[in-house]
Structure 1
Amino acid sequence: MQEGKSQHDILYDYLQINHNPLIFILDNFETPWNYKDARTDVKHFIEKIADFSCVTLIVTMRGMEGPGEIAWQILGESQIPTLSMEAAREAFYQVSRKIKTEDNSGKIDHLNEQLDCVPLAIRLIAQLAKKISLENLLRRWNELKTKILSESGAQPGKLTNVEFSIELSVRLLDPAAKDLLGALSYLPNGVPNWNQTLSEMLPDVPEPEIKVLQLLDCSLVLEKSEALMMLAPVREYIAARYSISDFFRNQIEIFYVGITEMISSNSKPGEDLELHTLNFFKTFSQYQGQGGQEKAALCLQTLGDKYYYVNQYSNAAKFLTEARVKFQNMNNEYEAANCLRQMGNVHRMQSRYNEAIAILAEAKSRFEQIRSEQGIAGCLYSLGEIYRGQSKYNEATAALSEARVLFQSIGNQGGAANCLKSQGDIYYMQSKYSEVTETLLEARVLYQSVGSQLGTAECLQSQGNIYRMQGKYSEARETLSEAKVLYQSIGNQGGTAYCLLNLGDIYRQQSKYNEARETLSEARAVYQSIGDQKGTADCLIVLGLTLEDQNQLDEALSLILEAYAIYSTINDVSEMGRCLDRSGIIYRKMGQYELAKQAFTDALGSYSQLQSTAHYNMGWCLFEFGLLFKDMGEYSEARKKFQEARDLFASHGELQDCVETCEEALEEMESLAEVAQ
């Protein structure tokens, strides 16, 4: 110190004459920056220091922006950084000293997921894991939430207690921002597309953008993919300490009722439906607004149906189950049974046939008790679809015929048309093409009479496939193109992609390989845009077949195996078997007989898991296995496989053409065996 000079003056004089590089590290800088009325002085001080060329400043603080008029370079993320799941798991193991096992890893991943992989939360909960089991730790988290995230025996501080750290930021807020924070903590999905949505969701919040910026500056919320989010520890603490006001809760309920009612009157699925899924469920499962539990149940049912139609089956089951409980509590037996019927359809679409049959039988029984012919017919139709999927054609025809009679008796032409279309699909599987054409035409007339463009498009699509199977390629292209136009007019991208997929296969069968690849690539792009993994894999299969036809076997095999990987992720056992089967054929063509053997063996293993639903595919796999042994000159083994294939086709009773093909192969084996002798 020098007389007549302040501490600041001495510092500035030193920096003026200094030529050595200096680093100033100002940690936790939000403390002086937000202290009472000191910001102006602090701003002047730090800007003055930053002007000296010898100085490098490193500042850590809560908030999105650095202090003062300084061109800060942001190191890392501007918001609270979280760990990857792999890093979070490794951190947990290192702190907790748990032994690495598959069982432990699953439980640890679940815990870290609950904590949104926040480093401080993981460190504190991992310390607890030294003393108690992972099962008890998870139970305590579910019961106590952030109360357990503190270092045992330590003075509460921002590095030893998650709640203390969060509260430091909350103290920086004005009352209006705290109210908004409480409202945001109510929403597990946060506010998707918040710049547009927040003012619609909470119309009475004055200047919401300014309040949000205040929350972002305190690191209590973060912006991710245009959504306003809260990390799990913050959300749990705020929800418990600063719970949502009744006023804001009512506004959120009104907002989500409006979205749901718009969805129910709109034939196209909501593009942002999945962004709000958790918010929908929490809002309506805990609904307190106008219309009461009946309104909540109807909204849950509407959303469950919509998730079903966009193939999000786990969400569909979750919403329908909750809706059913609410309907039962209100003694609304009809809608409760309706939810049960749709849950049966969810299981049906996931090929869980036994569960689906049991659920649909229960729903049918309940409809019979309240004498609802509409409900009974709906259950019979779904049962018919299940039997069709299991290749139980006699049972399917009986159920569909009964359903059709009931639909016609109550004047439900759309339901009757659905039964006819399904019956047409059965004829298609039986190669009864004239019956298919007649049935589909009748169904199409009914669909057109009720103005169902979707039903009409599906009939055209099926008819196009008939022409394709009959080798009538020009008629097939014309019909499928007409179906595609209809699908596009109603915004059904899945139907559009399916038509493109079949058009691509037609080009393949006509050896128009460039057109095939172009059309199949377009179909694949559409499937990818709507997140349809199965459709994407289906395109890869046909692209693989196209390359196989051109004898580009390595490239074909690569696409088939890529499709297999996708089917594995969605556990589509039937298509996994199909990929293995096809890869076996390609290996055989490449002369890689041992790999082909293994592929056919694995394919049969996949088909065997499907039991009664895989006669056709398993039979042809055995037949191809026989061809492999024939190429290898092992005629006795080939004969065994052809016999197994023949017997399997014969046991089904409706695959006589396949039986005859096997008989011809067996006769050829006899001739080859005689020549060999």
Structure 2
Amino acid sequence: LPAKPKIFHGRDSELKEIVRMLSQGAPRIAILGPGGMGKTSLAKAALHHPEITAKYDHRFFVPCDSAATSIDVAALIGAHIDLKPGKDLTKPVIQYLSGKPPCLLVLDNLETTWEPLASRSAVEELLSLLTDIKHLVLIITMRGAERPAKVHWTQPFLPPLKPLPADAARQMFTDIADDFHEPKEIDQLLQLTDNMPLAVDLVAHLVDYDSCASVLARWETEKTSLLSAGHDRRSNLDASIAISLSSPRLMAQPGAKDLLSLLSILPDGLSDIELLQSKLPIQAVLACKTVLLSTSLAFMDDKKRLKSLVPIREHMQYFHPVEASLVQPLQKHF
């Protein structure tokens, strides 16, 4: 199993709810939310919770980043339960897990395989077969706000993860970069992250060997690329956002990326009325809104306004700047 997260703040209520569900029967849980929101860390924390380790001797954590098909997912599960390699391990995996005592299986980053329409149905069929095993507990982590079909997910559903509370983001920052920095500068940096855990982690590590003032100055010119020196989704903010932007759901609705570009210059977002009355040159604008919500690239705030987090807005401004033809209708409307 992967190690328990050493720095883990602001997810007490979600962890408590997962542990509660895991103590009752064999739940099927989907941990959803935007990229970089700490879904994997939450799953790992649940795996290592004392109540869970006491109940489940057999716990498996399977990263699905490299899987392109359901057969790949089955092969990865097979490798973790020590099955011999084969052409298609779906049946052997189901037979093995069916004959085992109650166990907990985590499929991490399952969106890699589930997102493409060509493989989605087969992945959902695999999940259906897994959840036919009555004593198997299943947890998946996925980008977005949409759960795979063909599974009776345990209710109440775990809501998609949101940014960390301000105090938790600050605690995470100071755990990494110490707390001797100027409080106002820490606040400025955290505002740039919008309390997205991945962004907080990356900016704190920068500050750890530099200074808040220097990082703030670099942000003015480098923006999210400042937090993108790593080579994978867990150490590179731009790479993480780019994965979400490559979602087939987003690609199938071309206007969705245009709408996200527009949101990048609107910190206060847009209401449904503004979306419709401003006569934006975006076809099926409400459908585009739905796609952005389902992929967690945007969210609805308490005032029912469509918004995007600061790191995503900065990324869009840098790599996908809004076109003038989209801005002009809004200028006329307002």
- Whether 2:283 is the aligned partner of 1:206: answer yes
Matching residue of 2:266? 187
Cα deviation digits, residues 243-282 of structure 1 (max 9, x gap): 11222111111221xxxxxxxxxxxxxxxxxxxxxxxxxx
Aligned to 2:91: 9
Aligned structure 1 segments of 4 or more residues deviating by more than 6 angstroms: none
1:95 alignment counterpart: 176
1:171 aligns with 2:252: no
Distance 1:72 1:223, change over 3 A: farther
Q: In the alignment, is residue 217 of structure 1 matched against residue 217 of structure 2? A: no
1:61 alignment partner, SS class: strand
> How many residues are matched?
245
Distance 1:6 1:158, change over 3 A: closer
Tell me which residue corresponds to 1:569. none
What's 1:107 paired with? 185
| Higher RCO structure, 1 or 2 (CA under 8 Å, sep 6+) | 2
CA contact (8 A) 2:280 2:330 kept: no
- Distance in 1, matches of 2:178 and 2:95, equals 52
CA shift at 1:70, angstroms?
2.2
Gaps of 5+ in 1: 257-677
Whether the 8 Å contact between 2:280 and 2:326 is mirrored in structure 1 is: no
CA pair 83-6 structure 1, distance change in 2 beyond 3 A: closer
Q: Give runs of aligned pairs for residues 186-335 of structure 1, distance below 5 A.
A: 186-191=265-270, 194-225=271-302, 226-256=304-334
1:71 is aligned, of 152, 159, 173, to 152
Q: 1:158 is matched with which residue?
A: 233
Alpha-carbon distance between aligned partners in 1 of 2:327 and 2:225, rounded to the nearest angstrom: 25
CA distance in 2, matches of 1:5, 1:138: 52
Q: CA deviation at 1:203?
A: 4.3
Change in CA separation of 1:46 and 1:253 when aligned onto 2, cut-off 3 Å: same
- Could you tell me which amino acid in structure 1 is paired with residue 239 of structure 2? F
CA contact (8 A) 1:98 1:130 kept: no
Q: 2:227 aligns with which of 149, 157, 171?
A: 149
Distance across 2 between alignment mates of 1:110 and 1:76? 31
**Residue number in structure 2 paired with 1:23:** 104
Do the aligned residues in 1 keep the contact of 2:178 with 2:208 (CA within 8 Å)?
A: yes
Counterpart-to-counterpart distance in 2, 1:213 and 1:30: 18
Aligned counterparts of 2:176 and 2:159: Cα–Cα separation in 1: 24
- Max radius of gyration: which structure? 1
- The one-letter code sitting in structure 2 at the alignment partner of 1:218 is T
CA distance, structure 2, for counterparts of residue 43 and residue 222 of structure 1: 26
Percent identity between the two aligned chains:
29
For residue 15 of structure 1, report the CA deviation from its aligned partner. 4.2
Native 8 Å contact 2:104 2:136 kept in 1:
yes
Q: Render the CA deviation track for 1:202-242: whole Å, top value 9, x for unaligned.
A: 44422222222221222211122111111101001011111
Work out the CA distance in 1 between the residues paired with 2:273 and 2:101.
51
Structure 2: tracts of 5 or more residues without a match:
1-82
Q: Structure 1 residues 134 and 13 mapped into 2: Cα distance closer, same or farther (>3 Å)?
A: closer
Whichever structure has more strand as a proportion of its residues is 2
What pairs with 1:474-513 in structure 2 (closer than 5 Å)?
Answer: none
Which residue in the other structure is 1:357 paired with? none
Tell me if structure 2 keeps the 8 A contact 1:177–1:211.
yes
Amino acid at match of 2:123: V
* Partner residue in 2 for 1:360: none
Describe the shift of the 1:12–1:200 C-alpha distance in structure 2 as closer, same or farther (beyond 3 A): same
How far does residue 184 in structure 1 lie from its aligned partner after superposition? 1.6
CA distance in 2, matches of 1:6, 1:143: 50
Residues 298-326 of structure 1, C-alpha deviation per residue, up to 9 Å, x if partnerless?
A: xxxxxxxxxxxxxxxxxxxxxxxxxxxxx
Q: Structure 1 residues 36, 5: CA separation in 2 closer, same or farther (over 3 Å shift)?
A: closer
The question of whether the paired residues in 1 share the 8 Å contact of 2:255 and 2:283 is answered with: no
C-alpha distance in 1 between matches for 2:150 and 2:117: 20
CA contact (8 A) 2:258 2:282 kept: no
